[in-house]
Chains A and B, each alone.
Chain A
Amino acid sequence: MNGCHLDPQGALGGNPLFALIFNVAAYVLPCWLAFVIAGLVIMLILINAVLLGAAIVSWGERRLLGRFQNRVGPNRWGPFGALQPIADLAKLITKEDIIPYGADRLAFTAVPVIMVASLLVATAVIPFAKDVALVDLNVGVLFILAVSSLTSIAIFTAGWASNNRYALFGAGRAVAVLISYEVPVVLSLLGVVIVAGSMSLGDIVVAQAVPFFLVQPLAFFVFLAGMSAELNRTPFDVAEAESEIIAGYHTEYSGIKFALIQAAEFGGALFVSGLIATLFLAGWAGPVADWLGWLWFLIKTFIGIFLFVWIRSTFPRLRLDQIMTVCWKFLMPLSFINLAVVTLEVYFLRDASGALSTADLWIMTAINIPVAVVSIAFFGWIIRQKVRDSSRTTAAASPVVRGVSTIEVG
């Protein structure tokens, strides 16, 4: 120890892993080098975990989809085809890297980097196990929303810089969907934050004496549907609908750039599943959480991924105007109902210090599950009428313009 000390109150000093690597490195290295090396090591761990996770998700999703569709899926390379992602990556890396004629080369190249970078940065606040998050920001939920809002710009840039009509169509659709679904998703997260009394993901996990998918089934439903849409997954995958616009915004991408975009998409699915596990399934909480927290977190994340694949393989693709209808006329009222009910419950149930006991959470569960069933049934009935009416008339006004008009709201 040559006189190096970390500020234990600092954002990095509070991280036990960072402190450990720093202290070990400080025995042989000057302070500044130890600081940089500890930072690099911890970044490497996180980046590799996320990208490796994305590779595993890509394989797992294809295998699961295969099972759902009564076929085998990739099974040739490695046990159960588990080495398939490596084969895919090797193939994509050796492919020619094409930048189309007339493209904005700089912006075109920047897109995969921005997509992967924003995903990795957002992952930094997810608590993988007890007290193991890269940083436990006290504005964690807001941070995730802010960083993932970079995706819409990246997608739009991809569509614009490609100099390709289909890419631009895909980008326009994707951004319209992203901006619209942001509203119900944020409103459902607001319910979670109100009950937990904190925006820090670590505190939200601790607050879940009863997992929030029971306490707020409506928020869970809205979040799951909204995130399916934000990830551009079937049934909301109009942005890259193969049968209509080739591959949407990443039509022109090839080689390693395409690999990065795919990594960002599968990594996004992994990240959102981790977010669902953290926000609604009580994260690392479980028996022997001190030692096995990571295991519970992984299992719950897998549940999230399984739900997404299940949804994807079950429902056919919606039209863009139907997607907008689902967002504005179905998910929006549901998220408002959830927010109103939860706020009232917290107002009446909390004790003098503003905290909620486990019994309070069970009371809320008992109230909220019937509320969720009734309101989903009611608005589902209404939207069925609306969809029937709108399919009789000609296609509605350009949905992209509708997407634009939502910016003022958000």
Chain B
Amino acid sequence: MGAEWFKDVVFWALSVVAIAGAVGVVMSRDLFRAALLLATVFVAVGGFYVLMNAEFLAVVQILIYVGAIAVLFIFGVMLTRDVRQGNAPNRLQIPAGIISGLLLAAMIFTAVTTDWTTLAGAGLEAKSQIAQTQAVGIVDIEAAGRLAESGLSEQEVESVAGGGLADLLVGEFVLPFEAVSLLLLAAAIGGLALARGRGR
């Protein structure tokens, strides 16, 4: 007896919330409501991550997108003048619609045609793939099987699977990770310098 059917119910409920929210973000005339609906969509996406057993990613999604980015949007809306009059009709509506339609088509095409379970090669690549799926908390059983065929020892698998994201971040990708932190620091200082103005 599993929670399998229950997961389906939750999945469809979340899908309705996410899609309705996303449509609402685009259609709403009230910028503030659009920002709130965007936060709702973020929460629903976090729910999808929970369904995929990626709790860490779900929590980080809510922490960063809802706790920081949505709040930033709301502050932006608050500091925008004439926000009550809402979203004025835009002359570029049609080109924007075409571009986003093309983007959506490209993304759906990529998602459908990519064979997510295939591994380009055994050995190290399988190991790296397991590490990456582990990194977001999804256990890729098939990749594990391929890894077993590839002849890597159990300890090696464990060493990759155990740490997951942390091992990747402070191991293999430590340089990009640090570079990103430097970039963020520069952006924060730059923002402070801009906000401070010239007079003081």
Interface residues of A (CB under 8 A from B): 3-7, 10, 12, 31-32, 35, 104, 106-107, 137-139, 142-143, 145-147, 149-150, 152-153, 156-157, 160, 168, 172, 175, 179, 182, 401, 404-405, 407-410
Contacts and interface: CB of A to CB of B under 8 A. Distances in A.
A137 B55 contact: yes
Interface of B: 1-3, 5-6, 30, 32-33, 36, 39, 43, 55-56, 59-60, 62-63, 66-68, 70-72, 74-75, 78-79, 184, 187-188, 191-192, 195
A401 B3 CA distance: 47
A408 B190 CA distance: 10
Contact of A104 (B33, B79, B192): B33
A157 B77 CA distance: 12
B59 A146 contact: yes
Contact of B1 (A31, A147, A179): A31
Interface of B is mostly: helix
A377 B171 CA distance: 39
B75 A407 contact: yes
A404 B59 contact: no
A147 B59 CA distance: 8
Nearest to A157: B36
A404 B63 CA distance: 17
Given A146-B62, A401-B195, A405-B195, A12 B55 contact: no
Contacts of B70: 153
Contacts of A7: 2-3
Given A104-B30, A149-B63, A150-B43, 9 more contacts: A143-B55, A146-B60, A149-B66, A153-B70, A160-B32, A175-B71, A175-B75, A408-B184, A408-B191
A150 B3 contact: no
Nearest to A32: B5
Given A408-B187, A408-B191, A143 B3 contact: no
Contacts of B55: 137-139, 143
B6 to A, nearest CB: 7
Given A12-B3, A408-B184, A153 B59 contact: no
